[in-house]
Structure 1
């Protein structure tokens, strides 16, 4: 199968973020990672958690489909590697679901870490019991079409952020955060350092010793 025309193409030849960074990133709140990325790489609000696994991390397998069509999403699940986070730009359409229970079970069997969908799902109750991350804009009983076309393994936009295949995708209760592949080591190391500082601040809060001088200092800068 040779699919290499714009709008109908599949790319599997891309580098994925190393597993050691994935495991280190998994231990950090995504809000801290977002701060290191200057608040520019996190999804906008409006995405909802549907899967049982609320905290997830893995390399992006990117998919673009027409609104309401999931043919290429089926193909993406078939070729996904264990640990992948499949990120789908479905145009933000909410009137037709492109992902449901049977696809969830198939993805779970394939070892997919999570699904992140700029669009809608269905079978939400069953999906809520599966040990996989599933994030989407909404749910609807309306099912999908399977006429194509679509793209796998090319840059997409989701949640207001450009995502390249292989980028690090993180999820937790705050939403979804991305990190460019080339920036992962630096970002994770800086985020780990901030996490240690925040743990110390939490101790100071509990002890009543948190230094609050910075509040007045910031206000005085406005004068």
Structure 2
């Protein structure tokens, strides 16, 4: 039995389908989080990529000692096509946890992105390759490779708790994780939200857009503050 602090576990057998992931790629993170009570999502993680970034994949989680990437290397070797490697590096930005070489290895294995609560380096390479990467910061200082660390355990990145096997979405607004058991139901809600927004945009263009909730909220305040 592996001790807490050095564990390499397997993910749940159930894996969200590629069709569901592809449908999520057509949605914005903001539309999805609106359907999650506006309670979930990362804070403080910035995309290294330019405009137009949208990624969806399956969480392969890593918890590592700040500044050390030994277990991230192991996670890359374990990765499957469509994975996103999600790393809890404790928010430390003193040493980069991943760089261009690790990105290239990950792309070779079909990994679609990194979410790093820590620092990265070779920042321009991620944008040039079109490989999605969200990070707390950038540092040219390299990592240590001593361990310990854990793979496929619950992690926290930018205040967002991610479980192994979660559906992870990212775009220029940030990152959110969806439990696999809720992925299909939430997809339908988010698609309906996107369609409602599209109808709202058409009404704005036509000059017929109305906001009844605004009048109701102001009326309530007027009553409360008399």
Find the residue that maps to 1:92 and give its secondary structure.
Answer: coil
The offset of 1:214, in angstroms, is 2.6
| Contact 1:41-1:179 at 8 Å conserved across structures | no
Q: For structure 1, list consecutive stretches of 5 or more residues without a partner in the other structure.
A: none
Counterpart check, 1:8 vs 2:2: no
CA distance in 2, matches of 1:152, 1:137: 20
CA distance in 2, matches of 1:128, 1:19: 24
| Contact 1:16-1:165 at 8 Å conserved across structures | no
Q: Residues 101-180 of structure 1 correspond to what in structure 2 (within 5 A)?
A: 101-180=100-179
The offset of 1:213, in angstroms, is 3.0
Give the paired residue count.
220
Find the residue that maps to 2:190 and give its secondary structure.
Answer: helix
Find the residue that maps to 1:62 and give its secondary structure.
Answer: strand
Superposed CA deviations along residues 103-128 of structure 1, whole A, max 9, x for unmatched, are: 11111111101000000001112222
| Contact 2:160-2:176 at 8 Å conserved across structures | no
Deviates more, 1:9-18 or 1:176-185: 9-18
Superposed CA deviations along residues 21-41 of structure 1, whole A, max 9, x for unmatched, are: 111111111101001111122
| Contact 1:114-1:133 at 8 Å conserved across structures | yes
The offset of 1:84, in angstroms, is 0.2
CA distance in 2, matches of 1:41, 1:201: 24
| Contact 1:98-1:143 at 8 Å conserved across structures | yes
TM-score, normalized by length of structure 1? 0.95
Counterpart check, 1:69 vs 2:65: no
Which runs of at least 4 in structure 1 moved beyond 6 Å after TM superposition? none
TM-score, normalized by length of structure 2? 0.93
Superposed CA deviations along residues 176-222 of structure 1, whole A, max 9, x for unmatched, are: 01111111111110010111111000000000000233311111122
